[in-house]
Amino acid sequence: MNTDTDAQHTLVLGIDTGGTYTDGVLFEYDTRRVLATHKSLTTKRDFAIGIERVIEGIHIDDPAAIRMVSISTTLATNAIAEGKGKRVALLLIGYDPDLIASFKMAERFATPNYYYFAGGHDLYGREKEPLDLAALLDKVGAVKSQVDAIAVSSYFSPLNPEHETRAYKAISSVCDLPIVLGHQLSTKLGSVERATTAALNASLLAVLQDFVIAVRRAMEHRHIDAPLMVVRGDGTLMSDEFAARTPVETIHSGPAASAIGGRFLSGLDDALVVDVGGTTTDLALIRAGQVTVSDEGATVGGYKTAVQAANLFSIALGGDSHIALNRERHLAIGPERVVPLSYLSAEHAHVKSRLQALARRNWAQATPDWLEYWFLLREPPEGLVQTAQEKALVDFLHDGPKPVPEIVKQLDVLHVGQIGAKELLRQEIVAKSGLTPTDLLHVEGRYAPWDVEAATLALQVFAHHQLKEPDALREQVWRQINEMIVHAILTFLSEKRLPLSAKRSADEDIGRWFFYNSLYCEHTELETAIRLRQPIIAIGAPAGFFLEAVAKLLHTDLILHEHHGVANALGAIAGTLMAVEEVLVYPMYSQAGFEVLGYYAQTSGERREFEELDAALAFARAVGQELAVGAVLRSGAENPQVVVEQVSDGLDTYRLRIKALGNPRLTK
């Protein structure tokens, strides 16, 4: 959409790459006005394609007026969850192999290539045993041609990083691969989480560096010369240079940007942000004007890290969630995301005629699996198709989208699960389409940019097979969506589990009975209610359709801002720049371990000794502040403010977390 881009304005461009859409917003920084927005389908195989389409769609008249570009991305989260990170060798110094094996902790290392070496330190920062540098270098020589990066984590390295530092210098002399050190990413003493964080960061280095280069290239194509910022997982910003060095910090970047954008649009200091996208529904809590941050490290793809991120809760439910029958033949919504049939029919005219023929069949022949289509998104690159079955599938789909039963017959398999297409689907060569909530919105006339008749036919077929009227099935779907979102909100805020039941009428569990009775007032004598104290801020294009009934069920207000559909992109530019320096202060004990001889202050770069605790703490504050302020200024902040958090870890050990925060310094 066109807009007035007067060169006198201070313009910033915010972009969010979500699971379904990439959103862009052009924003006048001084007046806080939204000048233009645009949405484009996310291109997971190359995020930069969708980003350039968004920049093109905004029609920026004067690219020189853009003073900053800021982006939130699901790239790191998706790469971890989908196993697309680069190959990493994890070198573990001083770790106990038997302990790791007995508790099956190796599964949490995020790489199968992990190796143990003598060395490490104890709880007092004293060397446990000498570092076996010769064995470490032998292993590096053996594996360096088989991996893309190296991560090093030494036992208790936050208290004494000497062995990590020595390993880095030695490896650098014989190998030019990127090297990540655990103590530079976290001062927390959890050895497994720190090793996992180092391995994940190493696996993402090349991925995010390529992404930053691609975004820069897209900016150059549009003649935009401005600082590039990336959203962290806690909603703050960092420079693209810093993001490329510590990509692991972008875990949960997208949902965090949504929460920041929701707070920005609403102006509310206390609220529940619910972001409904095409793939997931994400929850975040705004408290005292800030997105709440998890005390625990962020978890992604089953890996627990030491990365600080917004306290988020996500469920696999969105506008493009697949409406199907599960193995028990019950109605299921998600977790898989598919292309809506209304869109597929608009792109491929024969799909509607096939749905028309399907609707004329009897209920036994027109089963819901005939509503699932597979289609070719793009030609596979050379070498990707490995098996005869993959080649047969690609060849069959060249003629256009095909329903699953036809594919099963063509490939001569008994069930769709036997079709070996995992890699083709993951690489976005082949995609799936099916009945979705977006199709129901077409039927209802609430959102209908594509083929309404195709959506109506698909609903009729599904309902007929279930021996229901289409309106009754629609009501059942929306009721189940309401239950899923309310259940997610309860789980997130209460931090308690409440298993749902497909047969609630016979359920004797008091928790589930209370839940359903609060939603539907089923008991003749007892009235129950669940009331949410905060309003719900709706984020995402389908949020208004999904959350209106949810807010009523929870007896709260729904805040639906004019620009709620691109609040995530707004969040990408509404955050502040932040740099964090963590300093540990801990006792220096006598050799016997009973007498305190003094105190150490351990920064990211040095360890100093002090006789008194107060002196060590004063040094930690001063040096930590100097390092944090210097880092945030280099990232492009102006007039940074400093916040110091001092936490006792027990045994006279303290962790000082110094944050330097400032607004972006926009180019002039």
Could you report the per-residue pLDDT of 463-515, keeping only the tens digit for each? 999 989 999 999 999 999 999 999 999 999 998 888 776 655 555 778 888 89
Taking phi over 0 as left and psi of -120 to 50 as alpha, with beta for the rest, 650 belongs to left
Whether 17 shows a pLDDT value over 90: the answer reads: no
Q: Which helix (H) or strand (E) holds 207?
A: helix 191-221
CA distance 135 to 137: 5
Q: Which of 10-24, 415-429, 454-468 has the highest mean pLDDT?
A: 454-468
CA atoms within 13 A on the CB side of 576: 17
Torsion of CA 44, 49, 52, 53, to 10 degrees: -90
Close Cβ partners of 214 (under 8 Å, ≥ 6 residues apart): 46, 47, 48, 51
Domains present along the chain, CATH in parentheses = 88-204 (3.40.50), 323-468 (no CATH), 576-664 (no CATH)
> Do residues 480 and 333 touch, judged by C-beta distance below 8 A?
yes
Which among 223, 289, 226, 291 is positioned nearest to 256, based on CA atoms?
291
Beta bridge partners of 66: 11
Q: Which helix (H) or strand (E) holds 241?
A: helix 240-245
Cβ-count burial 95-111 (b if 16+ within 10 Å, e if not): beeeebeeeeebebbbb
pLDDT tens per residue, range 554-607: 999 999 998 898 888 999 888 888 888 989 999 988 877 678 899 999 987 788
State phi, psi for 104 to the nearest 5 degrees.
50, 40
Beta bridge partners of 538: 274
Question: For all residues of the chain together, what is the average pLDDT?
Answer: 88
State phi, psi for 424 to the nearest 5 degrees.
-65, -35
pLDDT tens per residue, range 513-550: 889 889 988 888 999 999 999 999 999 889 999 999 99
- The average pLDDT across 233-260 equals 88
Burial zone of 406 (CB within 10 Å; 0-12 exposed, 13-18 middle, 19+ buried) = middle
Which among 290, 35, 188 is positioned nearest to 655, based on CA atoms?
188
Whether 124 shows a pLDDT value over 50: the answer reads: yes
> Do residues 373 and 351 touch, judged by C-beta distance below 8 A?
yes
> Do residues 486 and 550 touch, judged by C-beta distance below 8 A?
yes
